[in-house]
Amino acid sequence: MTEELRPNSTDSDDKVIDRFRRWFWRPPRRHGEVLEDRTVTFLELFYDLVYVVVIAQAAHHLAEHVSLQGAVEFVIIFGLVWIAWLNGSLYHELHGQRDGRTRSFVFVQMAILALLAIFTADAAGETGMEFALVYAAFLLVMAALWYGVQRIDEARYRRVTGFYLTMMAITTSAMVVSAFLPDDLRTLVWACVVGLWVLWMLALSTLSKLSENWEAGVTATDSMVERFGLFTIIVLGEVVVGVVEGTAEAGHEVGHDLISYATGLLALTIGFGLWWLYFDLVGRRLPRDHGPSLGRWFLAHALIGLSIAAAGASLVGLIVQAHDGATSPGTAWLLTGSVAVCLGAIALAITTLALLEELADVYRPTVAALLLGALATLGVGWLQPAPWLLALTLSLIMMAIWLFAINRWLASGRALRGEMPS
């Protein structure tokens, strides 16, 4: 073979390197570049696992500090964690690519979140400074990613991304400043940060409906709905953790016996009931894209996650008290209040669904049943029965709501066409 006909290995290597560079560092997807057939990736599942640890740390602290102050601190810290998850998840949903750049930044976020988990358990106290500074570092990474999107976005989306980056700057600055404040003031600043993001969620979709100059750039997709459902699975795992920790702690204090085991199993059915209600009524169903519906759908899922995680924390004390004739007020109100909020949040989520009007004869009575169930749950908390009876009663309330909802499905005749809840 002559020298001219031999393949040029240098040219071939250059092409491989060039292809690798293009794969590793592709720009993010712009707003509006929606992948309709996108599915949740293994990378996203891996990412969510870090939040399992962070939320577990916050829930563990609540389980050991069952009080009004402990509950308020948990709400604020969970709110910050959920905001971090929302930012990371929506960025991947709207702008992520299947390339090395996306993977690398996801792993950077995971590393920061793993560090955040170390300081989460006592974030309202001794490790508040460290939590605030690490959280600010996470926000800086997210701000850099969203700035990269704004640079390549169409003009109609730049106004909303600019406002978003302003929000990120305000939030990051607030977290840095809070690191050097006394504990009470620091927690107050964090509460303001959470409130600001709640207002942002509710206002964004409303502004995009009222003004032609606002483009939210967020479209509800099947993969987004699946991602929020997976987060609900994460917090449901806290119910299982609470049951296991409570049963183990009861074994150390009074020994393993039938009453503790029975109370633990009854407590576990609370998690089963919440799973049935959420996934049969809300899971895998798209919210409406117009008006404030999407913002309310986000808020409803934040409340669902918050309340389930808090319920899981309350189960530790419930099982430890298995031999008592009445549940302590703190544990009773934490558990029943959490379940009541979850039922109300599921009702709120239903009002945002795209199928609401089409299935009004099913969904509207079910919303009423959920709200009545929430009131009944609070009534049980006021009575403060024995732990096993409290868990049993809450499970029966949720079973009654589910049976009512399924009866409405059957009465509508849609079940015959395969439209039963998934």
Residue 419 has pLDDT above 60, yes or no: no
For residue 349, what pLDDT is reported?
A: 96
Query: What pLDDT sits at residue 1?
Result: 43
Residue 4 reports pLDDT greater than 60: no
pLDDT for res 205: 60
Q: What ranges do the domains of the chain cover?
A: 35-210, 222-417
pLDDT of residue 337: 97
pTM (two decimals): 0.90
What residue type is 74 in one-letter code?
F
Q: Say which residue the tokens 């049993």 belong to.
A: 392
Give me the pLDDT at residue 294, please.
85
Question: What pLDDT shows up at residue 99?
Answer: 78
Compute the distance between CA of residue 266 and CA of residue 252 in angstroms, rounded to an integer.
20
Mean pLDDT along residues 177-198: 95
- Structure-model confidence comparison of residues 202 and 372, the more confident one: 372
pLDDT at 217: 65
CA 404 to chain centre: 27
Question: 402-417, pLDDT tens digit by residue?
Answer: 999 999 988 877 654 4
Average pLDDT, the chain: 87
Taking only the tens place, the pLDDT of each residue in 38-64 is 888 899 999 999 999 999 999 999 999
Residue 5 has a pLDDT of 44
| Residue among 120, 93, 79 at smallest CA distance from 228 | 93
φ, ψ of residue 121 to 5 degrees: the values are: -55, -40
With left for phi above 0 and alpha for psi between -120 and 50, is residue 333 left, alpha or beta?
Answer: alpha
| Residue 2, pLDDT score | 44
Q: Which amino acid type is present at position 49? A: L
User: Would you tell me how many other CB atoms lie within 10 Å of the CB of residue 140?
Assistant: 16
Asked whether 312 and 58 are in contact (CB, 8 A), the reply is no
Check pLDDT > 70 for residue 298: yes
> Band of the pLDDT at 196, cuts 50, 70, 90?
very high
**pLDDT value at position 376?**
97
Whole-number pLDDT of residue 315: 95
Give the rounded percent of residues in the chain with a pLDDT score beyond 70.
87
Q: Closest by alpha carbon to 59, among 244, 296, 270? A: 244
